[in-house]
Amino acid sequence: MSNRKLIVGNWKMNGSLAGNAALIGDLLAGIGQPACDVAVCPPAVYLAQLQALLAGSAIALGAQNVSMHEGGAYTGDVSAAMLRELGVRYAIVGHSERRQYQAESDVHVALKAKLALAAGITPIVCVGETAQERQAGLTDFIVKRQLSAVIHLVGPCVSEIVVAYEPVWAIGTGQTATPEQAQAVHAVLRAQIRAATEHAARVRILYGGSMNADNAVQLLAQPDINGGLIGGASLKAPDFLKILAACASQ
């Protein structure tokens, strides 16, 4: 269990062998002793490279996805056991880009979370509403539906997951939820987790959606915001380091 905040960089489909080495070099040069837990999630093809670059460092390795199958005839998939062999500690599941472009359903996401847990990997379960859903007053309904599929499958093991609230309208748009808007949804998620486990307080609920060096301090100051899932700003070492530094002021 950890009360430390968790900051995770989601590199999405960005990077190159040379670029990754340079970015990690800059991060390791500037990170010192971070006041939070830190992970980066490169594209799967670079996991082995990153495992070597991050060995013995303060930065943990994460994956952007994991198969909903254990193994076998699933061309293109990467299993949780394979990720674990490469030293992967976290796996993002149910990112809105995968829900949208790869037609991942709540059930798929729950299966992925379950297999990650079984392999000793912490799933980072992403939930979030679209702009239309928010306008229609459906935010709480949507995020609770998405999380309940996972809770239904993993039961009390929900205490072992990380949740990321990522309003779809805030991802990559520069439009951030206000700290109050984010906290309100995080409180709803916390209550839902509390109904499933007595260890709800230790479940880290990250905020994601255009978090940057300027808004991180205020977002991270909210009582139920336990860290961040960072897209764009995780690709620039100075920006990512500033977000890590924001944890020190909490």
Q: Which residues are catalytic?
A: 95, 166
Span of 22-30, 53-61, 103-111, 164-172 interacting with ligand PEP by CB under 6 A: 164-172
The token duo for 123 is: 């799933």
Interface map 39-78 toward ligand PEP (x if CB under 6 A): ----------------------------------------
SS3 249: coil
Span of 65-73, 75-83, 141-149, 205-213 interacting with ligand PEP by CB under 6 A: 205-213
Taking CB under 6 A as the criterion, the residue among 114, 208, 222, 224 binding ligand PEP is 208
R_g (Cα) of the chain, nearest Å: 17
In the bound state with ligand PEP, the residue whose beta carbon lies nearer, of 50 and 164, is: 164
Taking CB under 6 A as the criterion, the residue among 24, 124, 231, 240 binding ligand PEP is 231
Residue nearest to ligand PEP according to CB distances in the complex: 231
Q: Is residue 20 part of the contact set for ligand PEP (CB under 6 A)?
A: no
CB of 163 to ligand PEP, least distance (A): 13
Got the DSSP string for 79-137?
-HHHHHHTTEEEEEES-HHHHHHS---HHHHHHHHHHHHHTT-EEEEEE---HHHHHTT
In the bound state with ligand PEP, the residue whose beta carbon lies nearer, of 60 and 196, is: 60
Q: Is residue 232 part of the contact set for ligand PEP (CB under 6 A)?
A: yes
Q: Is residue 91 part of the contact set for ligand PEP (CB under 6 A)?
A: no
CB of 195 to ligand PEP, least distance (A): 26
CB of 230 to ligand PEP, least distance (A): 5
CB of 199 to ligand PEP, least distance (A): 25
CB of 68 to ligand PEP, least distance (A): 20
Q: Given the structure tokens 């961040």, which residue do they identify?
A: 228
Query: For residue 189, what is the enclosing H or E element?
Result: helix 179-194
The token duo for 232 is: 């764009």
Beta bridge partners of 228: 7, 207
Residues 6+ apart with CB under 8 A from 235: 9, 11, 14, 23
Question: In 3D, which of 99, 96, 93 has the Cα closest to residue 166?
Answer: 96
Nearest-angstrom CA–CA distance, 129 and 138: 8
Instruction: Name the phi and psi angles at 228, rounded to 5.
Output: -140, 150
Q: Is residue 10 part of the contact set for ligand PEP (CB under 6 A)?
A: yes
Q: Is residue 209 part of the contact set for ligand PEP (CB under 6 A)?
A: yes
Question: Are 64 and 41 a contacting pair, CB within 8 Å?
Answer: yes
The site for ligand PEP (CB under 6 A) is made up of 10, 166, 171-172, 208-211, 229-233
